[in-house]
Every structure is written in C-alpha cells, then in structure tokens.
C-alpha cells in the first residue's frame, strides 16, 4: 500500500454563510456540485485536480479553545497558491489577519471564521 495524495480536508463551521463568504469571496473558491448530499448542511470546494475542501455545518466541539497566535504552531492544512501578493491583497481588503511564515519562504498563515488555520505557500509554475 502507498498513500498517493490527499483527497480532501474537512473543517467544521458553526456559521456556514459566514464561512462561505470567506472561502468563496476572499479565497475565490467555487463549490463542487458533484459531491453527494450529507445528513447535515455543508459545502464542497474543488481544489486543483481530485482535491477538495469540505465545510461541515455542525456545532463547534472546540468552542472556547485557545488557539496559538501563529497558525504554523497549530494544526493546519497547507494550500498552494500561484500569487501570494494577490492573496495578501484579498486578505487585507477583507481585514483578515495573517502572519508570514517564520521559515523565510513565500508563505503565510491565516484563520477562517471558525479559527481553522490555513497555510498558503507560493509555488510559481
């Protein structure tokens, strides 16, 4: 057996409309209508080829948990972007806080409305 990739990352959201505004308006993701309906509300986003982000609208089991200030010190998913400057402009316009990677590479960390940590790494092809 060999693990060959990541199919999807799932995040819990307590306010689906608020999270959709972040993922769709700020990050520019589009919903994937091909995904199956579940027994709870949610949405799927296609990322690249055969990769998705799944938002599940469920009560937050970690409400009130103290998260580290820097997303790189918290559990997170790392996403590849081709233009970090454009992402920075979008985050600034939406007043979303972020921290740059402490490694010195072209990357940053931010949190979605439910405090899920996201890393964005610039890879120019």
pTM for the full predicted model? 0.90
Is 27 part of any domain?
yes
Q: What is the CATH number of the domain that holds 38?
A: 3.10.180.10
Number of domains in the chain: 2
Residues spanned by the domain of 97:
71-122
Q: What is the DSSP letter of 49?
A: S
76 and 99 assigned to the same domain: yes
Q: Do 12 and 37 fall within a single domain?
A: yes
pLDDT at 5: 83
Burial class (CB in 10 A: 0-12, 13-18, 19+), 117: buried
What are the pLDDT digits (tens) for 67-109?
888 888 888 999 999 999 999 999 999 999 999 988 889 999 9
- For residues 4 and 101, the model is more confident at 101
| Confidence at 61, pLDDT banded by 50, 70, 90 | confident
| Beta-sheet strand order (sheet of 8-13) | 8-13, 52-57, 42-46
- Asked, for residue 109, whether it belongs to a domain, the answer is yes
Q: How far from 102 is each of 16, 56, 98, 99, 107, CA to CA, in Å?
A: 31, 31, 12, 8, 9
């Amino acid at each position: 057996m060999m693990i060959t990739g990541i199919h999807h990352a799932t995040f819990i959201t307590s306010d689906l409309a608020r999270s959709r505004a972040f993922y769709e308006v700020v990050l520019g993701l589009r919903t994937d209508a091909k995904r199956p309906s579940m027994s709870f509300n949610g949405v799927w986003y296609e990322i690249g080829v055969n990769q998705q982000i799944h938002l599940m609208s469920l009560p937050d089991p970690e409400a009130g948990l103290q998260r580290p200030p820097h997303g790189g010190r918290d559990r997170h998913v790392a996403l590849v972007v081709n233009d970090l400057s454009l992402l920075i402009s979008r985050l600034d316009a939406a007043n979303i806080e972020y921290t740059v990677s402490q490694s010195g590479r072209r990357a940053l960390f931010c949190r979605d409305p439910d405090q899920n940590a996201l890393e964005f790494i610039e890879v120019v092809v």
